[in-house]
A and B are shown apart, each in its own frame.
Chain A
Amino acid sequence: MSEDNESSVYDVLTKVNDNTWEVPGNFKPDMKVPGRIFVSKTLLDLLERETIDQVANVACLPGIQKFSMAMPDAHLGYGFSIGGVAAFDKDEGVISPGGVGFDINCGVRLVRSNLMEEDVRPKLPELLDALFEAIPSGVGSKSRLRVNDTELDAIFIHGVQWAVKNGYGVKNDLAHCESNGMMRGADPSKVSVKARKRGRPQIGTLGSGNHFLEVQYVDKVYDEEAAEAFGLKEGQITFMIHCGSRGAGHQICTDHLQNLTKASKKYNIPLPDKQLACAPASSEEAQDYFKAMICAANYAWVNRQVIMHWSREVFDDFFKAEHGDLGLDLVYDVAHNVAKLEKHMIDGEEKKVYVHRKGATRAFPAGHPEVPDDYRDIGQPVIIPGSMGTASYVLKGGPNSMELTFGSACHGAGRVMSRKSAKKELRGEDIQKDLRSQGIIVRATQPSLIAEEAPEVYKSSSDVVDVVHDLGIATKVARVLPMGVVKG
């Protein structure tokens, strides 16, 4: 970080404790609440000044509750920072696509198995080839699953329920998805023809960029009781899927952004940044977006579900197992980019608020009614992927998440180097070789993608996770290490 940035960051922020920094409520004239950035000193040194501005800008929006927040993986985003969390009053507040992002319900799911590291390590290259073959990935990839408009409507409305009903999964998968893989309130009539055209051919595709399918093993268990509840133990093989709503979600956001830009003017909402286009939560424009956003969220859950289903088939074929023998159960699926109407205690009073989590994960604690029955005494699994070559973490929703962050935690490591710089400074082939020497195999459509997503372009996932753990927002259950990665 430059000296200029360092001095300006410390000029602006007030230290609350070792992992919490406040953007004072008078930093910008229209701020309605202060900002809270949850970072350690190490991560604060990597924070861009513009990210603080974005946290302050969100604090200016009508009806915001308590604080405009940024999680420890925060970095510059569009409107909200990535890692941004904000809750808006159901009646007095707003809904903003900039608080969700273009890739609606980009998220992560973790699948466990009965296999152990030594069962898979010798056969890993062939297994990865088979996964790479089965899961369409990369720019321009199309799915072998094609749906008609009626089926697409059903996917938008019923999410993973559609998938299970149509043979892409088992009933138990539903309970282990956030919102049971189906947010209620979808209205496909709010989805444009363009979004439908993009959505139809892409169900079951990984996409590109930072999205991946990773074969991993559980390297360390921190919390035996929680790990047992989540079905995890040291040495066990897991796999993780990270992707979102693909072109359908991107188009839904693009379409409604135009409407909400007009609506901001119509309702005289002063915007500190044009990218925070929004409308009163109860307005037709905001509700139209919200209903379409739910369609995209449900689509994204189906996308990850179908990818998981095909991955299960690959594992079964590869290990010549009958369905179910390998214990390929879904541990959990979390959304990263979504807005939800939730109940939270604010100033001693229960209120309904639209919680926007953009590059942030829900992290509900033990006892919360939305935590699946079999995890209710433990807390919601919180899955934090690393980058290729670095650890991913499984946490559980912590006791302080409802009070501190509207039940939210970080979602990943957060970039520190641009794709352009990464491609200039790093060679994909070198990264691939280096990872290979660490026992990690990467399959990607292009070597440049490997450079773009190299471990060194991200913050340390361990540093990020330590902050949420120390704050009691989400606490560490297990660490998983990559063995093989399929990239788009």
Chain B
Amino acid sequence: MSSDVKGSFEYLEHVADAKFRAYGKSLEEAFENAALAMLNVMVETDSVNNTSSVEVELSSPEIDSLLFDWLSEILFLFEVEDMAFGGVKVNEIKVCDDECSLSATLYGETIDLSVHVFDTEVKAATYNDMRIEQTDDGWMIQATVDT
């Protein structure tokens, strides 16, 4: 495993796509860092002023499909709201037997190509080698996004 660590996530080697691990003391924090890992493939999040926000509410039958939906929703909002996101706050994740839910806030601003430094387009979230694991320090999420 390579160690291209930025904050609480790191990128792993993948010949075609972007693969990362994100960490957090709580599941909420791990989901936040997974979102930031994906966003940083697309845009330098440091170049974004977080002056506006978008609320996200999701539910899904399983925790891995919740992660897939979460990353997919961010890609959707990025395109249709025409917003670059630089910050993420996952307020709460509930895990029940037959339904998992998430409430979160994305922070950013309207895309300005003269200000925001864009990088690679992410086409989609995937289930490819997806892992959501409890560790001694909290939680670890591994995900691959199609670029």
Interface residues of A (CB under 8 A from B): 48, 75-78, 82, 101-103, 138-140, 142, 194, 197-198, 202, 207-209, 247, 250-251, 253-254, 258, 261, 274-275, 415-421, 424, 445-446, 448-449, 452, 488
Contacting residue for A140 out of B69, B118, B126, CB 8 A: B118
Considering only residues 3-27 of chain B, those with a C-beta below 8 Å from chain A are: 4, 11, 13-18
On whether the beta carbons of A419 and B18 are closer than 8 Å, the reply is yes
Contact of A418 with B15 in the complex, beta carbons under 8 Å: yes
Report the minimal beta-carbon distance from A388 to chain B, rounded to whole angstroms.
15
Shortest CB-to-CB span from B17 to chain A, Å, is 8
Q: List 9 A-B contacts (CB under 8 A).
A: A77-B16, A78-B128, A82-B16, A139-B121, A140-B118, A207-B121, A208-B118, A420-B2, A449-B119
- Is A416 a contact of B123 with CB atoms below 8 Å? no
Interface pair B124/A448, CB less than 8 Å apart: no
Identify the 3 closest CB pairs spanning chains A and B, nearest first: A208-B121, A139-B118, A102-B124
Residues of A within 8 A of B147 (CB): 209, 419
| Contact (Cβ within 8 A) A75 B16 | yes
Contact between chains at B119 and A420 (CB < 8 Å): no
B65 touches A258 (CB 8 A): yes
A416, B15: Cα distance in complex, Å: 6
A198-B80 in contact (CB<8A): yes
Complex-state Cα separation, A398 to B20, whole angstroms: 42
Residues of B near A202 (CB, < 8 A) are: 79
Excluding A101-B146, A258-B68, A421-B13, 8 further A-B contacts by CB distance (< 8 Å) are: A78-B126, A82-B16, A103-B146, A198-B80, A251-B76, A274-B127, A418-B14, A449-B120
A103:B123 contact, CB within 8 angstroms: yes
Residues 102-141 of B, flagged 1 when their CB comes within 8 A of A and 0 if not, give 0000000001010011111101111110000000000000
Q: Given B14, B80, B84, B123, which contacts A102 in the complex, CB threshold below 8 Å?
A: B123
For B120, the chain A residues whose CB sits under 8 A away are: 139, 208-209, 419, 449, 452
Partner of A250, one of B11, B16, B124, B127: B124
Complex contact B76–A140 (CB within 8 A)? no
Q: Could you say which residues of chain B place their CB within 8 Å of the CB of A194? A: 76, 80
Which single residue of chain B is at the shortest CB-CB distance from A262? Answer: B61
A19 to B146, CA, bound (A): 30
How many Å from the CB of B106 to the closest CB on chain A? Answer: 15
Given contacts A139-B43, A418-B13, A418-B16, are A446 and B118 in contact (CB under 8 A)?
yes
A77–B146 CA distance with the chains assembled, in angstroms: 9
